[in-house]
Structures are given as structure tokens and as C-alpha cells.
Amino acid sequence: MTNPVSITAPEGLPFIDIDREFDAPVAAVFEAHRDPALVKQWLGPDGYEMAVERWDFVPQGGYRYVHTDTDGAKWAFNGTFHSVRENEIAIQTFEFEGYPDVVAIETLRFEDLGGGRTRLRIHSVYPDVQSRDGMVASGMETGLTEGYARLDALVA
């Protein structure tokens, strides 16, 4: 059993809040976000292949990756890491290339809960409610839940 993912999308507001706890220290959860070889092992839905084209998890760094589903369809994402403070916070943009010109600004906070446990809090702000609702309807909950279950195993 893994820890549940909490996803909140308040009515009429253009943001999503995601909370997830991990039974692992902050340094391990943070490293699994920093190291592209680790990111490739957990990010996204089960059964998808992930090609990391760029992953510079540093201030003013950037990323681009492509998920390929079991039918061969490709889903590309890109963004810029604006701020990164080790074991504390990352602020990034996030864009699904299949829906261009809609860029979210995401804040990831890595909270030490003590006892070797971590809470990851993500606040993702979209340009408008319609774009936010499109992300919620895209199946993001499945991708988050399955990906974080793999991350549990990776940081255990």
C-alpha cells in the first residue's frame, strides 16, 4: 500500500494543489526529482516509456521529455526550472506540447516530516480555469498515482 495522492482543484480558481507523503527522507525524494536517470524510472503512468531529452534541475535550467504509451502515441512536455533549493523547493514552468501556449507555473515544496518521512506539496497555477480543468480531465490523477507508487519503491 502506498500513500494516497491528494488533488484539489477549487471551483472557479485556476490552480491545482497536490499533496503526497513518502516514507523516505527529503534528500532521497529530492534526488529522485533532480537526477534524470531516476526521474525516468518513476515519472508518468505505468507502461509508458520515457525519453529524457534534457533535464537540468538547477536555477535557470530546463527540461524536455517525451512519454510513449503502449500504442506508440507520444506525449511531450517541457519547461524551465526557475528556482531550485536543495531539499526545499523547486519552481518550474510546465507545458504539455499537445496543448501549446498554456504554461503552468508549479511550486514543489519538499517538507521534512521527521522520522525519515517527506511531504511533497505541489501548487500548479494555470492561465485560466478552462486550462486547469483540461489538465484535471487529462488523466493526471492516474499518472500521478502510478508514478508516485514507483517513486515509493525507488526511494525505499
Tell me the mean pLDDT in the region 1-22: 94
pLDDT tier for residue 75 given thresholds of 50, 70 and 90: very high
Q: List, for residues 143-153, the tens digit of each pLDDT value.
A: 999 999 999 99
Q: List, for residues 86-123, the tens digit of each pLDDT value.
A: 999 999 999 999 988 999 999 999 999 999 999 999 99
Instruction: Note the pLDDT of residue 139.
Output: 85
Find how far residue 146's CA is from the centre of its chain: 12
Q: List, for residues 42-59, the tens digit of each pLDDT value.
A: 999 999 999 999 999 999
Check whether 128 has a pLDDT greater than 80.
yes
Instruction: Note the pLDDT of residue 27.
Output: 98
- Kindly state the percentage of the chain with pLDDT values over 70: 99
Tell me the mean pLDDT in the region 76-85: 98
Question: Grid coordinates in use for 152?
Answer: 515509493
